[in-house]
A and B are shown apart, each in its own frame.
Chain A
Amino acid sequence: MHAVIAISALPLFLGALLSDWAYSSSFQPQWINFASWLIAGALVLAGLALLWAAVEVLRRRGSLVYLLLLIATFVLGFVNALVHARDAWATMPTGLALSAVVVVLAAVAGGVGLAAWHRRPV
Chain B
Amino acid sequence: MRTPGQRACATAVVAALAAALGGLYAVAQTPADPGQHGANPELPPAQRGLLPDMGIARPAGWDGRQPTVPQGWTIRAIATDLKIPRQTLVLPNGDILVAEGKGGSAPKLTPKDFVAGFLKARGTTPVKGGNQLTLLRDADGDGSYEGRWVYAENLNAPYGLAFAGGKLYVANQDALLRFDYVDGQTRAAAAPVTVARLPSAINHHWTKSLAADAEGRFLYVGIGSNSNIGERGLAVEEDRARVWQIDAATGAVRPFATGLRNPTALAFEPGTQQLWTVVNERDELGPNLVPDYLTSVREGGFYGWPYAYWGPNVDPRIQPGDDSKVQATIKPDYALQSHSAPLGLAFAQAGLPAPFAEGAFVGQHGSWNREQPVGYKVVFIPFSGGKPSGAPVDFVTGFQADGKTMGRPVGVTLDPKGAVIVADDLSNTVWRAVPGAPRPVSPR
Interface size of B in residues (CB-CB distance below 8 Å): 21
Partner of A89, one of B50, B52, B110, B318: B318
Residue of B nearest to A81 (CB): B111
Q: Is the CB of A29 within 8 A of B231?
A: yes
Q: Is the CB of B112 within 8 A of A88?
A: no
Per-residue contact bits, chain B 309-353, to A (CB 8 Å; 1 contact, 0 not): 000000011111000000000000000000000000000000000
Chain A residues positioned under 8 Å from B52 (CB to CB) = 85
Q: Is B48 part of the binding interface, using a Cβ–Cβ cutoff of 8 Å?
A: yes
Q: Is the CB of B112 within 8 A of A36?
A: yes
Q: Is the CB of B50 within 8 A of A90?
A: no
Q: Is the CB of A86 within 8 A of B284?
A: yes
Chain B residues positioned under 8 Å from A90 (CB to CB) = 48, 229, 284, 316-317
Report A8-34 residues with CB < 8 Å from chain B CB: 27-30, 32-33
Instruction: Give the A-B contact count at a CB cut-off of 8 A.
Output: 54
Q: Is the CB of B110 within 8 A of A88?
A: no
Q: Is the CB of A87 within 8 A of B231?
A: yes
Q: Is A40 part of the binding interface, using a Cβ–Cβ cutoff of 8 Å?
A: yes
Q: Is the interface of A mostly helix, strand, loop or mixed?
A: helix
Per-residue contact bits, chain A 59-95, to B (CB 8 Å; 1 contact, 0 not): 0000000000000000000010111111111101000
Chain B residues positioned under 8 Å from A82 (CB to CB) = 50-51
Q: Is the CB of A33 within 8 A of B110?
A: yes
Given known contacts A29-B231, A81-B111, is B319 in contact with A88 (CB within 8 Å)? Answer: yes
Chain B residues positioned under 8 Å from A36 (CB to CB) = 110-112
Partner of B111, one of A29, A30, A40, A79: A40
Instruction: List the interface of chain B (C-beta within 8 A of A).
Output: 48, 50-52, 109-112, 227-233, 284, 316-320
Instruction: List the interface of chain A (C-beta within 8 A of B).
Output: 27-30, 32-33, 36-37, 40, 79, 81-90, 92
Interface CB pairs A-B, < 8 A, 25: A27-B319, A27-B320, A28-B233, A29-B231, A29-B232, A33-B109, A37-B110, A79-B50, A82-B50, A83-B50, A85-B52, A85-B110, A85-B111, A85-B112, A86-B48, A87-B230, A88-B229, A88-B230, A88-B318, A88-B319, A89-B316, A89-B317, A90-B284, A90-B316, A90-B317
